[in-house]
Structure 1
Amino acid sequence: MIRIVGSKLYSLLFFILASCLVFAYNTINFASTNNPAAIKPQALRPVDFNRPFRQVSYSNDVKPILDSRCVACHSCYDSPCQLKLSSFEGIDRGASKKTVYNHERLIAQEPSRLYIDETTTADWRLKGFFPVLNEQSLSPEDNLNNSLIARLIQLKRDNPLPSNGKLPKSIELELERSLQCPTLDEFEDYQHDHPLWGMPYGLPPLTQDQEDTLLSWLRDGAKADIHPSLPPAAIAEIEKWEQFLNAPSLKQQLVARYIYEHLYIGDLHFKDHPANEFYKLVRSKTPPGQAVEELKSIRPFDDPGIDRFYYRLRPVTSTIVDKNHFVYELSDSKMQRLQELFLKPEYTVTQLPGYDPQSAANPFNTFSQLPAISRYQFLLDDAQYFFSGFIKGPVCRGQAAVNVIRDQFWVAFIKPQNDFMQESTEFLAENSHYLRMPASEGEKIGLISWLDVNRLQQQYVDKKETFIHKALLRHHDVDFNLIWDGDGHNDNALLTVFRHFDNATVVKGLVGKTPLTAWVVDYPLFERIHYLLVAGFNVYGTAGHQVTTRLYMDSLRMEAENDFLRFIPAQHRKAMRDSWYQGVDAKLFGFFDKPLYGIDKETAISYQTSDYKKEFFERVRQRLGPAGGEPDLINRCPKESCMRANSSPDQQQADAMMRQLADLKGYEIEALPEVSFLRIKTADPDKDLVYTLIRNQKLSNVSFIFAESLRREPEQDTLTVMPGFLGSYPNMFLSVPIRQLPEFIEHLKHTRTEAEKEFFYNRYGIRRNNPEIWLYYDWFNQKYLKEQPGTAGLFDMNRYENL
């Protein structure tokens, strides 16, 4: 108990310290002494590449190698050393010793977003980024000897990893490890101290042909190709949507702002256009028809700083990676839907809201003139997209960020009611003060401000309960009619969220066995989660900002859980909630001894079993029909046939074995990491099957940021098995011939000791140093892109475990 109390006190003390020292965000001069004008020649050991060189193209020859071998770790915010190899612009920018993710930062960091914060090499050098390509003399030898990329490739070739067993302990894989990020001046010491740290890091080397291609390109000056021009069909669509989003009336301007603040983070795609064409919705200084000059604001509701700006669609030119790729489709029918929701209803916008942080961070202030039912229906139409924003947004990287949610839970939504939502618009406008978000304080939020925000949240929940009883439950029973039915066809009506320790995934439908917890989400809750985790979150922000975001999400999660409890028989609600918050730490601090709202209104649902949660969702799914998604025939096989439609004999055989696998739990699945991709080999390699194995780790509660290991209950872990792919960060690849599946399951079930795990991983796993790992990585990526060409991206190997 002392250890648990200590962890909570540590969390509190850390927050107080961060709060006391955090100041308002200010622009510090981050200019580096690495002045491009002062670059001097390096006296480095010559690198002898005694191999033939050839003319190569960046787009045709080099980029495919970078995409298949380097982007596996170097993309997005969590690129080691901020070296993004997913585009030429990222390579040219180079690397930095500063980390984007830092939960101990007391002063906000100046942002370093590619394409936004700077656009020239010289300006990136002034921000402390150092080159990985040669920027000195231009001889072929210097192009190689002064290239960090060439040096790191050669270091791996000179010091190969052992080809079997675990990697040596000197290969550090923890995400929070201290990165070296050597400059060219420091590389001699780096290779002396860390001879096994060549690239690809902790993985087998490139093939000789891949090396020759990259080194030939580097030797010839690392030239880029000209970006291809957009096709006429794309130009026409961009023109149409930019005209729509920049229409002049006050009503259209407010609607465009609402759309932008919700769509800016995702990848937009024109329906029926090539699957690899995506766009970002941005605010630009320049009007349509001119080159985009994106505003450098941190948050989408920050003051633009100019009198006139324009909403523009900027093409995505970086390689698409799955961990931040979620797609919103634009089409004629989508534009018609937006017009129906926001432009056709009779209401008047009398004045456009400003960008004062106290007001702009609160969507219930900013958009009070837009009908609440229109805003809510907009979110419901593409609920998975918006939940993906919560999940794949930058806040969701890191165990301390996502341990606010359970490893698996189901989500349903309150149905928009025309009469109720009209009153709701007025209620939200009148009570917007109580819905103040942490982002309203910017980077200077501290303990006092957080306590004030938390107090307002509790007051809002009180007022919300009174309003719901007066405006909704007075006319409606608490039954299935309150649950959104997807309008009879929309399969966003039910979602499943999986947390994988320090990242998460959201999918449509009810996947997996009945989870411990469930959410029912209404409009104000949906909107606040977006403005907390997406629009209002600054990945470069202070520790105080990050901690308060996490703590506020605790309140929103409990509100969603409480809305679900309304549908459970009243006498069983407290016991069910208590089962979610067990353990000495939760009870000791009384953190969750909060009112159980809705307990005085009995549900009108007549349950047939005592497993209320399972029965509730099964009946909801059945009532929704196509909108409820496909039944999970692997993890929740009904008594009738569990055969998937149009499945092959191999699929039927594999599914039957996967049902047995999905029934394992506790220590029977101890050998599995959280996310495994299982390749089942058949007689025809082109028809090999893939399943994702998700180990759901049980915690006594998700009450606190730290000391998660002290709340683990591994004997209650469960396994979800899903055909196809789930998750962006595989922890291990597994490969089993279909005839050996019974043996594989039996081995897994009885694998406990280190010796037994060693046998299991050697026989079925593809370890990090296995020379075949790149073949498997390519196969999984290609299969994913083939099965889901519009929504798939490359998998990330940063969390591939050393088992």
Structure 2
Amino acid sequence: MIRILSSFLLLLILTALAFVYGDINLDTLFSTKDAGKATFIAIDSKHKPGKLNYSSVKTILDNRCASCHSGADAPCQLQLSSYEGLQRGASKQPLYENRLHAIAPSRLMVDGKTAEDWRTKGFFPVLNEKSQFPEINLNNSLVAKFLVLKHDNPLSGTDEKLQPTGKCPSLEEFPGFAQSHPLAGMPYALPGLDKAEQDKLMNWLQDGAKNSPPAALPEAALAEIGKWEQFLNDPAPQMQLTARYIYEHLSSGHLHFKGQPAHEFYRLVRSKTAPGQAIEELASLHPYLEASTGAFAYRLLPINETLTDKSHAVYELSDGKMARIRDLFLKPAVAVAQLPAYPQEGSAQPFTTFKDLPVDARYQFLLDDAYFFLQVIFKSPALNRHDGLNGLRDQFWVAFLKPRPDANPQTAQFLSENQGFLRLPASAGEAGGLAQWFELKALQKQYLANKATFTQTVLLKNQALDLGLIWTGEGGNGDALLTVFRHDDNASVVKGLQGKTPSTAWVIDYPLFERLHYLLSAGFNPYGGTAHYLATRLTLDLLRSEAENDFLQFLPKSVRQAVHADWYPDSESQWLGVFNTPDFAALPESAIAYGSQDYPNEFFNQLAKISVPASAPPSPAQAALPTPCPQEPCAPLPATPETAAPSPPYYDNFARQLAEAKGQEIAALPEVSFLRISTANDPAKNVIYTLIRNRQLSHVGVLLGENHRRLPEQDTLSVLPGFVGSYPNQFFTITSDQMEAFITQLKQAKTGALIAAFRDTFGVSRKHPQFWTAYDSFNQQHRDGRPENAGIFDLGRYQN
């Protein structure tokens, strides 16, 4: 009754004002339809205004809203990881869809800077943008509407099959939407906010959703920024070409100054303004394209949005890094007679653009931080969808050929002569697609033939292939050997050879590394049309095949063709001629001594022995998992200690036994699960494992029909310490005395009812009353273990 009276009284006052002043009407204060149909949200009369701003509620928005609404795949393009995202609002235009033509880019803080900019681009507000009165602030806020809808319609035990609506209602459309979808309140398909969180957010919205004053950068950060901006903007031609190369490769990363606070990150941008002035970022679609203004400066722009794991890749800047860049690019006597021009459109041409920079310097720059660059590649929007990733195995190991400074002039000439064979889909803009792919495939075939001749006559000089050709990290770089995991519609990169020996492996050389970067990161347009997506996806097949063939050349010549045929056995995989067996006889015999026919495993075992990084011991949360008992069953789990927390070997034994599960024994596990083993009295000693289900396929690469190529009886389980993956599909929490039961029930859960019982016993469902407690603790433990590298986990793909 009080709420109704207060709303009625407000209407009377506003009507009187409209009568007296004549220039105020209800349509300018409330949505027209809202005023006539929706029940008003009453203000909190006990709240004292003026004390809340964005920083007051940022933690709530981060942990309850940005957990889904962040990044390129945010529903309705509504990004709630920054105040600028709230100001931009939402859009009915989905980013990930099949569309005939490209759409205008809508990068937050790049393609629009003000609310007015975004309204002209079709985004509608989620905060009140009309007159500022407490009740108007609430009733013209979509955020408030969705919060109240959730509060009034909480989840119940019957909501397990709740699916996304696919709707992005504006304020005017909300009454009808709420009537049709009463369970679509926010957080969607998850428990609602607790009372304290709800009240605080609603009071902030009631006060007008005010922003916080910008924080001043610390003096230490300003000093580092000044040092690096001076370095990158040195006008010497050799430095300018070097700076361009660095920018084209770091523009998608998050830069961090070594030794500075863990939450401080920057983006490398091109700005209209010089160092010392406010940054005005140039909004070119790709970093290699011509800037919209003549002169520009490289600047370091602070990142103010909340970091999410799915887009967070850290590149560390330090005095040592600057010295390394000088040694690689500036110390050699290089003549840059004329800086190369920028293309206005089309694809990058790194092999001609940077021909004056030593090839081995460019390659070593990538190798020094190979983990970072592969993270950027595999976290790209190009691979954030099922049909972008279904050309990859669920798990594969990666090694790199080592640089060859002794052959630098010959390699530079070879790349220059073969530039035309190394084209990428962006060269045709939006007009690519299947026809362009056939052309690129023919070009690659010629390039590989030329490469085989060059490798044999120049690089090998007709000598045998051996492990000496592989980059081993120079004795201390842990990026030398990496593992890539595909999780259906997203991917992760981890250091080291993780999990059991995979079906396939990659060996990457410099030209391949560059093309992967420009195909999937620098040259990919997430706003492009279907033809662009298709050409990118099909070209990834070509590059994957090239990387796999580079690995096969280290096997005995007599088995290369058979191993390749085992990877792609089905006639279905031959219909486009994608996987024609290369002419492996073109390269010499491998000089590696093999003692068995398990060639991939032997190859990487030998390689791992000479690639162990000389680094400090990892923290307990990041300790390397021992190789899971390869020859015989692990010993039974020991009894749970009664008086002390289990020791790390105790947990390792559990992980070993768990990693032995395979096929239908892991049917109850989704792609990525986080498992916490809780100790009795010390949460700081809780142990985290990531469980990754590796789905086996007869082959990969064909766009359609992946389910027909599934071999579920061959699925394997990778059990990794700490956190791997940005999109957890399931949380499991167990106590130390439940470990044996967890393994036993998992292996028995092969049917729907048993799977449901297993998840009910050990899992944390979306409707679980402690869901947010579990989520917050996982995020916190992630930050505690990797303070610079951690971002919040995305819940958009958490299973019901």
Q: TM-score scaled by structure 2?
A: 0.91
Residue 715 of structure 1 and its aligned partner are, at CA, apart by 0.6
Structure 2 gap ranges (5+):
1-26, 638-643
Equivalence map 1:78-157=2 (5 Å) = 78-102=73-97, 104-157=98-151
Question: How big is each residue's C-alpha offset from its partner over 1:227-277, in whole Å with a ceiling of 9 and x where there is no partner?
Answer: 101011111111111111111011111111000000000000000000000
Partner of 2:275: 288
Which of 476, 491, 499 is 1:504 aligned to?
Answer: 491
Aligned residues of 2:727 and 2:797 also touching (Cα < 8 A): yes
Give 2:215's aligned amino acid: P
How many Å separate the matches in 2 of 1:322 and 1:296?
A: 24
How many Å separate the matches in 2 of 1:626 and 1:54?
A: 58
How many Å separate the matches in 2 of 1:430 and 1:47?
A: 69
Equivalence map 1:114-513=2 (5 Å) = 114-162=108-156, 164=157, 167-169=159-161, 171-173=162-164, 179-356=166-343, 361-474=348-461, 476-513=463-500
How many Å separate the matches in 2 of 1:521 and 1:648?
A: 44
Question: How big is each residue's C-alpha offset from its partner over 1:709-757, in whole Å with a ceiling of 9 and x where there is no partner?
Answer: 1111111100000111100110000011111111110100011122111
Aligned residues of 2:282 and 2:291 also touching (Cα < 8 A): yes
How many Å separate the matches in 1 of 2:68 and 2:215?
A: 26
Give 2:651's aligned amino acid: A
Change (3 A) 1:659 1:51: farther
How many Å separate the matches in 2 of 1:262 and 1:662?
A: 37
Give 1:723's aligned amino acid: P
Partner of 1:26: none
Partner of 2:604: 617
3-state SS, counterpart of residue 793 of structure 1 = coil
3-state SS, counterpart of residue 610 of structure 2 = helix
How many Å separate the matches in 1 of 2:149 and 2:583?
A: 60
Partner of 1:719: 717
Residue 599 of structure 1 and its aligned partner are, at CA, apart by 5.3
How many Å separate the matches in 2 of 1:380 and 1:144?
A: 52
Question: How big is each residue's C-alpha offset from its partner over 1:56-92, in whole Å with a ceiling of 9 and x where there is no partner?
Answer: 4334421010011111101001111111110111001
The reply to whether residue 586 of structure 1 matches residue 581 of structure 2 is no
Residue 289 of structure 1 and its aligned partner are, at CA, apart by 0.8
The reply to whether residue 652 of structure 1 matches residue 652 of structure 2 is no
Give 1:172's aligned amino acid: Q
Once superposed, what is the RMSD of the aligned Cα atoms?
A: 2.2
Residue 801 of structure 1 and its aligned partner are, at CA, apart by 0.3
Residue 687 of structure 1 and its aligned partner are, at CA, apart by 1.6
How many Å separate the matches in 2 of 1:691 and 1:585?
A: 37
Partner of 1:76: 71
Change (3 A) 1:232 1:733: same
Give 1:79's aligned amino acid: A
Aligned residues of 1:493 and 1:627 also touching (Cα < 8 A): no
Residue 458 of structure 1 and its aligned partner are, at CA, apart by 1.3
Give 2:752's aligned amino acid: E
3-state SS, counterpart of residue 789 of structure 2 = coil
3-state SS, counterpart of residue 409 of structure 2 = helix
How many Å separate the matches in 1 of 2:179 and 2:550?
A: 59
Equivalence map 1:610-759=2 (5 Å) = 610-626=597-613, 633-637=625-629, 649-684=646-681, 685-759=683-757
Greater relative CO (CA pairs within 8 A, separation 6+): 1
Aligned residues of 2:436 and 2:535 also touching (Cα < 8 A): no
Structure 1 gap ranges (5+):
1-35
3-state SS, counterpart of residue 625 of structure 1 = coil
How many Å separate the matches in 1 of 2:560 and 2:744?
A: 39
Aligned residues of 1:516 and 1:580 also touching (Cα < 8 A): yes
Question: How big is each residue's C-alpha offset from its partner over 1:436-461, in whole Å with a ceiling of 9 and x where there is no partner?
Answer: 11111222224443322222111111
Higher alpha-carbon Rg: 2
3-state SS, counterpart of residue 612 of structure 2 = helix
Which of 788, 792, 795 is 2:793 aligned to?
Answer: 795
Residue 47 of structure 1 and its aligned partner are, at CA, apart by 1.8
Residue 639 of structure 1 and its aligned partner are, at CA, apart by 8.5
3-state SS, counterpart of residue 109 of structure 2 = coil
How many Å separate the matches in 1 of 2:668 and 2:483?
A: 24
3-state SS, counterpart of residue 429 of structure 2 = helix
Per mean C-alpha deviation after superposition, the further-off stretch among 130-139 and 780-789 is 130-139
Give 1:653's aligned amino acid: Y
3-state SS, counterpart of residue 410 of structure 1 = strand
Aligned residues of 2:542 and 2:578 also touching (Cα < 8 A): no
Give 1:691's aligned amino acid: Y
Aligned residues of 1:155 and 1:196 also touching (Cα < 8 A): yes
How many Å separate the matches in 1 of 2:423 and 2:72?
A: 28
3-state SS, counterpart of residue 238 of structure 2 = helix
Residue 51 of structure 1 and its aligned partner are, at CA, apart by 6.8
Residue 39 of structure 1 and its aligned partner are, at CA, apart by 8.7
Give 2:119's aligned amino acid: R
Aligned residues of 1:734 and 1:766 also touching (Cα < 8 A): yes
How many Å separate the matches in 1 of 2:433 and 2:678?
A: 55
Change (3 A) 1:159 1:38: closer
Residue 422 of structure 1 and its aligned partner are, at CA, apart by 2.9
Give 2:719's aligned amino acid: V
Aligned residues of 1:155 and 1:199 also touching (Cα < 8 A): yes
